[in-house]
Chains A and B, each alone.
Chain A
Amino acid sequence: MATRICIAGIAESECGHLPDRTALQLHQQAARAALEDAGLQRNDVDGVFSCGEDWMHPMLLAEYLGLQPTYVDSTQVGGASWELFVGHAVGALQAGLCRVALLVYGSTARSDVRRPRRAGDVPVAPRGPAQYEGAYGLTLVGKYALAARRHMHEYGTTSRQLAAVAVAANRWAQLNPKAFHHGKPMSLDAAMQTRMIADPLRQADCCVRTDGGGAVVLTTEEQARDLRRKPVRVLGVGEALSHLHLSQWADMPDLPAQHTGRRALQQAGVAPKDIDVLQVYDAFTVMVLLSLEALGFCGRGESGALAESGALEPGGRLPINTDGGALAANHPGMRGLFLLIEAARQLRGECAARQVPNARLALCHGTGGYFSSAATVVLGA
């Protein structure tokens, strides 16, 4: 049997509004804290897994951190990259290609808006396949709105059901002092009254924009046993790509998550009903609905009613995005790493007011691009 791989350390950097920090600095903060959490030294790290917007990001990052890793992966598939990295790290660790894998991310996505430095602010004439879309003014939110509208058409999903996802995230955020919307409760009616961004998605259907970073340290179970924290075992992984441009998405409700969820759950030998706590990438409310269906947590077209029933809220039967998620806790650009951190924290029983009782099995599901990439990780206490 292959060596078991575990999460040995987790940490966030400072998060929120950080105009005086750089993205690289946040990487370093998170890496140092995660290694300290594990009880490891920087010299123990021989595998680095990270992606970002910088040119030759892995070299820049390793150089900044003073590391010379002998195993590196910088696959950039958007927000799902971090769940994908877990799968790749498991393979590398099991094959003995590295001994300690550091997954690390940092971004000043919020502060960059004020520095007019975001890629989205710089018009670049569309080349290659993008030339067939560039002139039509389709925004990022608009792309998710197209998926939401289609789901409404096929299954009768309502704006109120979408808003229920945002309200559930907001309620979880009230239990997490580090969440961006902590102390700012929002009712369903209030969510429904936020301004329209890209019909049918309103402001409340869209994630917060924050600065921040995080890190996760993985190693073999044998090594993890002797470390500081209770190891969190990786039980199953799956990854898949679907499309980049929405016109090339074969059929909208068919997500790459169908493949990644099935594979990760099968590998773990468990079913959706066995999962105690879920972390599902939620940059927009519609991502939660479509992902829950594709992962098998409800039937096709049933996710809207499920959200409206309150099942996703604290105390509900499907605890999801328990830190408040991208919708209410943090979203520094590519959030997949935070799903892993919160899941590990739940399985270690360190979540205080938002702790899901007896959480033994967690599922993290990352989505990248525009339902373009997916990666799923099943974790066990």
Chain B
Amino acid sequence: MDRAAALAHHLPVIDAESAPFWAGTRDRKFLLRHCNSCHRNHFYPRHACPRCWSDNCEWRPASGKGRVYSYTVIHHHDVPPFREMVPYIVALIDLAEGVRVTANVVECTPELVHVGMPVEVVFEHVTDDITLPQFRPHTS
């Protein structure tokens, strides 16, 4: 089964608030929300800033570079499609712009992944609507 069919029930349901983000990943950009009032970035994206509640926020592309804050290697999952995908890595990634993102670490074995590992975003085309951001090891 291909990824699109396997992940069918697990793909994002795009809404008005998230549409620009998923349009961004289709263009191979990882967009953050930047608050023009308190000058901080946030992710996941909200219309208003969660720190100061200002409406004055805008979308800005992130560098896509970051480090692994923590990770786990999933060895057991009850249900498809993940049941058939184990082992795989899920990580929390701290982006250079000061936000934390959940994603898989791809192009990497479970033995190599570690806390602090430099990673960069890659874009996985899944369907015409959904391109998932993923992260892979990055050597500068």
- Closest residue to B134 on the A side, CB-wise? A136
Which of A127, A128, A137, A252 contacts B70, CB < 8 Å?
Answer: A252
| CB of B90 closer than 8 Å to a CB of A | yes
CB <8 Å contact, A147 and B70: yes
Contacts of A121 in B (CB 8 A): 78-79
CB <8 Å contact, A142 and B85: no
- Closest residue to A146 on the B side, CB-wise? B70
The residue in A120, A124, A132, A150 that gathers the most chain B C-beta atoms within 10 A of its C-beta is: A132
| CB of A274 closer than 8 Å to a CB of B | no
- Closest residue to A152 on the B side, CB-wise? B115
CB <8 Å contact, B104 and A198: no
CB <8 Å contact, B115 and A137: no
Q: With contacts A131-B14, A135-B12 known, is A150 near B78, CB below 8 A?
A: no
In the bound assembly, the distance between CA atoms of A145 and B90 in angstroms comes to 10
CB <8 Å contact, A142 and B90: yes
Show 27 residue pairs from A and B whose CB-CB distance is below 8 angstroms, ordered by the A residue: A120-B78, A121-B79, A123-B9, A125-B10, A125-B12, A126-B10, A126-B13, A129-B44, A132-B18, A136-B103, A137-B82, A137-B85, A137-B90, A138-B90, A146-B90, A146-B91, A146-B92, A150-B115, A195-B75, A195-B76, A196-B73, A198-B75, A199-B73, A200-B72, A247-B44, A247-B92, A247-B101
CB <8 Å contact, A124 and B79: no
| CB of B7 closer than 8 Å to a CB of A | yes
A230 CB, nearest partner CB in chain B, Å: 44
CB neighbors of A among B44-88 (8 A): 44, 69-79, 82, 85, 87-88
* A-B residue pair count with CB separations less than 8 angstroms: 120
In the bound assembly, the distance between CA atoms of A137 and B80 in angstroms comes to 10
Which of A125, A128, A129 contacts B9, CB < 8 Å?
Answer: A125
Q: With contacts A126-B12, A137-B82 known, is A199 near B102, CB below 8 A?
A: no
| CB of A315 closer than 8 Å to a CB of B | no
| CB of B100 closer than 8 Å to a CB of A | yes
Which of A127, A135, A247 contacts B100, CB < 8 Å?
Answer: A247
CB <8 Å contact, A247 and B43: yes
In the bound assembly, the distance between CA atoms of A134 and B18 in angstroms comes to 14
- Closest residue to B105 on the A side, CB-wise? A136
| CB of A73 closer than 8 Å to a CB of B | no
CB <8 Å contact, B74 and A132: no
| CB of A226 closer than 8 Å to a CB of B | no
| CB of A149 closer than 8 Å to a CB of B | yes
Which of A123, A128, A247, A252 contacts B102, CB < 8 Å?
Answer: A247
The residue in A120, A124, A133, A139 that gathers the most chain B C-beta atoms within 10 A of its C-beta is: A139
Contacts of B90 in A (CB 8 A): 136-138, 142, 146
In the bound assembly, the distance between CA atoms of A195 and B91 in angstroms comes to 21
Contacts of A248 in B (CB 8 A): 44, 100
In the bound assembly, the distance between CA atoms of A153 and B67 in angstroms comes to 14
Give 17 A-B pairs besides A133-B102, A137-B82, A149-B70 with Cβ atoms closer than 8 angstroms. Answer: A123-B10, A124-B9, A125-B13, A128-B15, A131-B13, A131-B18, A134-B10, A135-B7, A135-B126, A136-B103, A138-B72, A138-B90, A142-B90, A199-B72, A200-B72, A247-B92, A247-B100
| CB of A246 closer than 8 Å to a CB of B | yes
| CB of A197 closer than 8 Å to a CB of B | yes
| CB of A245 closer than 8 Å to a CB of B | yes
Q: With contacts A131-B18, A135-B132, A150-B70 known, is A199 near B11, CB below 8 A?
A: no
Contacts of B14 in A (CB 8 A): 131
CB neighbors of B among A238-278 (8 A): 245-248, 252
In the bound assembly, the distance between CA atoms of A150 and B116 in angstroms comes to 10
Q: With contacts A135-B7, A137-B104 known, is A146 near B13, CB below 8 A?
A: no
